[in-house]
Structure 1
Amino acid sequence: MHPASSDPTYDPRRPIVLIGLMGAGKSTVGRRLAHRLHLPFVDSDHEIERAAGLTVAEMFSRYGEAQFRDGERRVITRLIDGRPKVIATGGGAFMHEATRALILERTTAVWLDADIDVLAERVARRAGSRPLLAGGDPRSRLAELAAVRNPIYALAPIHIHSRPLPHEATVDAIMKILQR
């Protein structure tokens, strides 16, 4: 069931793509949002890992970020196939100019934003699997990433602030905007 919408940023025939920093809840919120909308859910990082036969961390280590981002762009291009679904992207996907243009042109982009302290608490549990946090203080690194990425994430037509509440609250906030 798709919500009726007069909001020009939302077309129920297009995929919904969640963007934002690591720890914003893109995968968890995405699964729940897809369930509510009766749509398939896809996590682009999982699709990249499946296609490469390596984890994201292994790809960063072996090939570097630039080559990883190119592969990520190809996978996201394949996922944005014109069929409605919810797609959670990796935190850096929207930073790649070609990927960002594709997302903005062919999907409904939703920026899940959260305070640095909330992000740091959430990623602390999985910091070892996050290559951009390797070898440093996660909170400081997240603040650096936010300073660079948030102005770009702000290009998304829908902005949701994820608070330290159950993920259902974030899903409710997205649904409210989609149903306008």
Structure 2
Amino acid sequence: MKLLILDRDGVINYDSDAYIKTLEEWIPLPGAVEAIAQLSKAGWTVAVATNQSGLARGYYSAAVLDSMHARLRELVAGQGGELGLVVHCPHGPAEGCECRKPKPGMLKSIAAHYDTNLAGVWFVGDSRGDLEAALAVDCQPVLVKTGKGEKTLEGALPEGTLIFDDLAAVAAQLLHTQ
């Protein structure tokens, strides 16, 4: 199975320190939807693992979050592709759950859903927490410069982290090397 796992905010869509609270605020980054569709059409399964503490904070409802993911699925389908499993952590940072990145719970859920090993699977994110979650399950950490990526680049990165400008560049690399 060719599996790619993505963070959401800052990788697929614009991020905001004030949270993405409405469907109208959920705006895809240039080329991101097309990248997911291209990968899907080439036989890749593209899954998403996203921290959504705005749920715990009461900033938006599960129904609003579901509408954002439904919109993403519609956009990808409109480009001829399909989006795989989308998992989210609804907990706040202080709740001590096992799913909130940098803990690897969501990545383990994706592995269990697809009955696959995550060793070497690319996990694309824009934050240090994403990279740490990748390492915890032997995924290949991949940093994009979108979202918080440029700021993340200012610190030390885990050894072996791959760096790309954006999700479109990740897709181009994967499609070129398959």
TM-score, normalised relative to structure 1: 0.44
Choose between structure 1 and 2: higher strand proportion: 2
TM-score, normalised relative to structure 2: 0.45
Give the number of the structure with larger relative contact order, counting CA–CA contacts within 8 Å between residues 6 or more apart. Answer: 1
